[in-house]
Amino acid sequence: MEIGILAKEFDRHNVVEVIQAVQDYDMNCVQFNLSCANLPSLPLEFDKDTFVDLGRTIRESGIEIAGLSGTFNMIHPVMDVREKGLIALENLAKASRYLGTNVITLCTGSRDINNMWKFHPDNNSREAWEDLIKIMERALVIAEKYNVILGIEPELSNVINTAEKGMRLLETFQTDHLKIIMDGANLIPFDQIDKMHYLLDEAFDLLGENIILAHAKDFSVEQQEFVAAGKGDLDYEYYISLLKSSGYNGPLILHGLNEEQVSESHAYLKELI
């Protein structure tokens, strides 16, 4: 299991400097965001030459892209936002072949009109689920057309906010183009820390065979927020043991931390692995 990082955790002027920062911290694997190359994260236009050049730069560096960020609010109350997200997703799918990855990372979204990382009670409505299914159907047409895998991440603030809902989504489509991004910190409500092992066991029982990518951040019950891996309340030894027992041997991607925390979190995870 290789430790990598969300590339945009490094605030640099250009993609060469971002890649150098990743390598300076003794890592060789990233989840990539086009913003690191001073491009829109969700591109509404596609310029082949731009992505050919970017892909060449990345290949020559030796950096591996484990996944390309395509996150947009898939159940946004305004339909135009969803439509633009699908346009961007197709452009990212086109670009992925030049960037050396076949994984595009997504989150399922929230009914909150301003912040897709904020929970809205309508996320649990039948209408929200139906909207997600309609958008996911179209997203999977794109995935199949360009032979990419969409990785969706169950998280408490989104419409897919439990492992059970994640499994329900997989069963709805039954396709190899839809997989799971596992993030243990996203599965534990702050008021249910006493159920941590139960919730993690449930997640791996239901989703373990479908993990395409794993994330590494932490959560603090006292601070009521996400923190750097190893700095919070997630039982990381247990989380990593579940990743291993599930058969997952892919990248473990650090995120949700400041640059000054990268070395310590990296060393912490490396020792556990």
**What would the pLDDT profile of 25-55 be if each residue is shown by its tens digit?**
999 999 999 999 999 999 999 999 999 999 9
Give the per-residue pLDDT at 257: 96
Residue range 158-168, pLDDT digits in tens:
999 999 999 99
Confidence of residue 225 (pLDDT cuts 50, 70, 90): very high
pLDDT, one tens digit per residue, over 57-94 is 999 999 999 999 999 999 999 999 999 999 999 999 99
Hey, what CATH class is 3-272 in?
alpha beta
Q: Give percent of the chain with pLDDT exceeding 90.
A: 100
Q: Are 96 and 55 in contact (CB under 8 A)?
A: no
Q: What is the pLDDT of residue 147?
A: 98
Structure tokens at 49: 């030459």
Please, is 176 exposed, middle or buried when counting C-beta atoms within 10 Å of its C-beta (0-12, 13-18, 19+)? exposed
Q: What residue segments make up the domains of the chain, in order of their start?
A: 3-272
Q: What is the pTM of this model?
A: 0.96
